DNA sequence: TTCTTATCCTACTAATATAATAGGAAAAGG
DNA sequence: CCTTTTCCTATTATATTAGTAGGATAAGAA
């Protein structure tokens, strides 16, 4: 697993929403990007991806913006990273959600090592929610 | 950490050398690539990188080839992966050997989570040697 | 000494991923 | 109906990944 700016920016935006969501209030993207100093146009894509994935909901127009689609305790770091950066596993051949064959598969002990790493990462990221981080 | 074919191929080659090195005998790259079905010309680069890094030694000409520069128990998986794919850490801002600032650094709990993952991966890969895998 | 076999080393290429920006359509509120 | 905001498509620049091509160089065999 290697994080790109997609996941990093997404997590920052989600944490901002988690903290500043006074009961269902919508927060505009410009507010998020100004306070966190993130590129607005780039963030539009990221928010859109999270919208389609059901992590946030949105409304257009004045007073429009975004809010979390679920409680912070129900959104895991794993969901976010899988959405933007794909597999948590170090190689595709040991990935549960994104399996693809690779050359190291015939090396049983090396594969086992990679699976142990995959298991550690996914259990850690699946049990950590926005609530834990905010 | 995400493995590319560089690290995967390198590890396969090193394991082949570990297994088939009858006391200091050199093994040609064509033998390695034929038996493991790896692209020869691509592997030349990989072997060259390992040569410069001191993981293998070589000799040219007939009867030439490669062999491990150290005992299998002294070459760790971490060395190989860092050489080809850089940081073991999931983000550069928590990397010990390849630190670079990133936007998530201000999020203390998220950073701590990433450091825990980094620590697990590096301790695992640093204590695993070719001897353990062969 | 010359031929063969291997590594050594530089250059090049094609495809994909990453990190954005540009510009306008659509909807909601004032 | 005007403004603000999301929605959505297209485009771009750079870097990374996964190779191939071709020749120089060294070592051993003939």
Give A41-57 pLDDT, tens digit per residue. Answer: 999 999 999 999 999 99
* B58/chain A closest Cα distance in angstroms: 24
d(CA B35, CA B134): 16
Of residues B21 and A133, more confidence is placed in: A133
Which of A125, A72, A54 is closest to B120 using CA atoms? A125
pLDDT in tens, chain B (134 residues): 999 999 999 999 999 999 998 777 999 999 999 999 999 999 999 999 999 999 999 999 999 999 999 999 999 999 999 999 999 999 999 999 999 999 999 999 999 999 999 999 999 999 999 999 99
Within window 69-88 on B, which residues have Cβ closer than 7 Å to strand C? none
pLDDT for A106: 96
pLDDT for A22: 74
Report, in angstroms and rounded to the nearest whole number, the Rg of chain B calculated over CA atoms.
17
Of B8, B116, B128, the CB nearest to A102: B8
Is any Cβ of chain B less than 8 angstroms from the Cβ of A86? no
pLDDT for B24: 79
Residues 5-64 of A with CB under 8 A from B: 5, 8-9, 11-12, 15, 36, 38
Residue B47 CA distance to nucleotide D20 C1' (Å): 16
Task: Strand D: list positions under 7 Å from protein Cβ.
Answer: 3-10, 16-22, 25-29
Max intra-chain CA distance, chain B: 58
- What domains does chain B contain, in order, with CATH numbers? 5-72 (1.10.10.10), 85-129 (no CATH)
d(CA A128, CA A67): 20
Residue A62 has pLDDT above 80, yes or no: yes
Within window 62-81 on A, which residues have Cβ closer than 7 Å to strand C? 62-64
Within window 88-107 on B, which residues have Cβ closer than 7 Å to strand D? none
* A45/chain B closest Cα distance in angstroms: 18
Query: pLDDT class for A83, splitting at 50, 70, 90?
Result: very high
Convert the pLDDT of each residue in A88-122 to its tens digit.
999 999 999 999 999 999 999 999 999 999 999 99
pLDDT for B8: 98
Residue B1 burial class via C-beta count within 10 angstroms: exposed 0-12, middle 13-18, buried 19 and up: buried
Residue B88 burial class via C-beta count within 10 angstroms: exposed 0-12, middle 13-18, buried 19 and up: buried
Of A9, A117, A133, the CB nearest to B110: A133
Q: Are B26 and B60 in contact (CB under 8 A)?
A: no
Of B8, B77, B107, the CB nearest to A133: B107
Q: Nearest residue on chain A to B109, judged by CA atoms?
A: A133
Is any Cβ of chain A less than 8 angstroms from the Cβ of B121? yes
Residue A23 CA distance to nucleotide C9 C1' (Å): 64
Residue A21 has pLDDT above 90, yes or no: no
Residue B102 DSSP class: -
Token digits of residue A130: 């926005």
**pTM of the predicted structure, to 2 decimals:** 0.95
Q: Work out the percent of chain A whose per-residue pLDDT is above 90.
A: 97
């Amino acid at each position: 697993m290697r994080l790109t700016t997609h996941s990093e920016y997404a997590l920052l935006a989600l944490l901002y929403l988690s903290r500043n969501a006074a009961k269902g209030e919508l927060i505009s993207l410009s507010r998020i990007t100004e306070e966190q100093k993130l590129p607005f146009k780039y963030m539009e894509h990221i928010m859109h991806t999270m919208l389609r994935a059901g992590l946030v909901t949105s409304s257009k127009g004045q007073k429009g913006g975004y809010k979390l689609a679920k409680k912070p305790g129900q959104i895991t770091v794993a969901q976010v990273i899988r959405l933007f950066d794909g597999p948590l596993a170090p190689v595709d051949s040991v990935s549960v959600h994104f399996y693809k064959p690779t050359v190291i598969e015939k090396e049983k002990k090396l594969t086992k090592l990679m699976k142990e790493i995959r298991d550690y990462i996914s259990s850690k990221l699946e049990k950590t929610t926005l609530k834990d981080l905010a």
